[in-house]
């Protein structure tokens, strides 16, 4: 009988050790899960910051695009004016040369 009780006691100790290991493993898993959740939260915050930054950049880019387009229109107008003035100058030079031929 004592031998059976000893076996039961040994088996109980083994079961208790296994339970202790399981509890320790569960504790480690919970800590790991908490770290993962914290990491996920940080990633979500970073993702939101990137989205906000992209929205800001998109609006700035649109403004810069409009400014550049406006400047191009101004440059185009100035080039047309310079071409016009060049043509007028060429006509004036032609008239002066023609007039000088008459004087000679």
**Mapping DSSP to helix (H, G, I), strand (E, B) and coil, where does residue 55 land?**
helix
Eight-class DSSP state of 104: -
Q: What is the pTM of this model?
A: 0.52
Per-residue pLDDT tens digits for 52-77: 999 998 888 888 999 999 999 999 99
- pLDDT category, 86, cuts 50, 70, 90? very high
């Amino acid at each position: 009988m004592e031998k059976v009780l000893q076996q039961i006691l040994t088996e109980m100790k083994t079961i208790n050790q296994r339970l202790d290991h399981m509890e320790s493993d569960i504790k480690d898993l919970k800590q790991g899960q908490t770290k993962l959740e914290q990491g996920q939260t940080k990633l979500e915050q970073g993702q939101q910051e990137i989205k906000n930054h992209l929205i800001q950049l998109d609006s700035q880019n649109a403004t810069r695009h409009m400014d550049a387009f406006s400047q191009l229109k101004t440059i185009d107008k100035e080039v047309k004016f310079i071409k016009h003035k060049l043509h007028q100058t060429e006509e004036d030079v032609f008239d002066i040369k023609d007039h000088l031929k008459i004087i000679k």
